[in-house]
Structure 1
């Protein structure tokens, strides 16, 4: 898998996100900040939907490197119990089917599914979906 950024996912299958644990306070953040004050920590794959919205307009480039033909997507905040809240795309479910607290599992999806060899981004799907 070719991730959109270095150090985003672990090498295991299925992958996990890589966060950082603050050495002094123990607070976990995502993404890993690359600071000596933090240790790398693989995050859990399972969480629950904390909040969400629909991204209805094409983000500015840079940093957005997705397709020119923009299609709206769901973006959510997913609470990883005892760790942190992660912002990521929500995949495999319609906005009308979402509910706060619904169980979700980490996956990786291509930034642009229409482009072969596209880099992968973190996403969450309803638990039990492959």
Structure 2
């Protein structure tokens, strides 16, 4: 099976997960919700609060940077469905990113090598290709990448 060529058109993997379209003047942000009753922050955005059952959430743009709380690697192709990624499987890492003062987000990591990841590592939100549709539209999803800017500033202060 050949992968269709990307036509330049892109779309998010699902509406309402992250700000779209990307813009050079603002970082991409995950879209969560905050309960107006008890303050619980949820991702993805929830219509009802799982803590107090309030049905009055407000949209909340989550932090675009956090720290790696834990991670694991996916070294084999997951079963299909639900996986509908490319036929040619490449190992990848999945982790929980702690967004300060908000919550833990489970996400794919852009760095697949476990030797280059560490608990407490600074991470930043980014968009990555997920698949290419038959019409050439590239579908993108969110992931977290090691935050090289934080690594550089840590090295400067050491």
Q: Are the aligned partners of 1:93 and 1:126 in contact in 2 as well (CA < 8 Å)? A: no
Task: Indicate whether 1:17 and 2:30 are aligned.
Answer: yes
Task: Indicate whether 1:29 and 2:42 are aligned.
Answer: yes
Distance (whole Å) between structure 2 residues aligned to residue 62 and residue 94 of structure 1:
26
The answer to which structure has the higher helix fraction is 2
- Structure with higher Rg: it is 2
Q: Which runs of 5+ in 2 are unaligned?
A: 1-9, 49-54, 150-158
Distance (whole Å) between structure 2 residues aligned to residue 5 and residue 47 of structure 1:
22
Q: Which runs of 5+ in 1 are unaligned?
A: none
2:114 is matched with: 95
Distance (whole Å) between structure 1 residues aligned to residue 137 and residue 42 of structure 2:
29
Taking structure 1 as the reference length, the TM-score comes to: 0.86
- What are the within-5 Å matches in structure 2 for residues 16-95 of structure 1? 16-35=29-48, 36-92=55-111, 94-95=113-114
How many residue pairs get aligned? The number is 128
Taking structure 2 as the reference length, the TM-score comes to: 0.72
